[in-house]
Structure 1
Amino acid sequence: MFEKLRKFFEAKKEQHEYNYNVKFDNVAIPEVHTHKSDKHQEEKPKHSPISYENVAIPEVHIRTKKNK
């Protein structure tokens, strides 16, 4: 039983040839940065002011213990 299954997967491996043509296939290519670009980075001061306008503040509910 497993002999047929093994042969099936071996034949399937031999059939597939992975030859991607980037012009026609819909393949995503990641953008890799290998060097540091100084043009787009603005230097921020070390102690910049903090703005709390768009900060989510969690709700904290403190429960009291009930004595039984």
Structure 2
Amino acid sequence: MFEKLKKIFKNREEKEKHNYDLTFDNVAIPEVHVKSTGSHEDTDKENAPISYDNVAIPEVHIRNKQNK
């Protein structure tokens, strides 16, 4: 009886595992700018304006497993 239950749960775990194909072609690497701009140096850090011009948004594309 317990062996049958073990087989059922084992099969369920195998079905729930995901195989994601993550390669470097599918992942965008964010850009990091370490040089600060001179226009905002005279303002204090708490009230400094936020600029989103130099921000890179990473993209991750996850493909589904193809049924063969």
Q: Would you say same fold, with TM above 0.5?
A: no
TM-score (norm. length: structure 1): 0.30
TM-score (norm. length: structure 2): 0.30
Q: Greater CA radius of gyration, 1 or 2?
A: 1
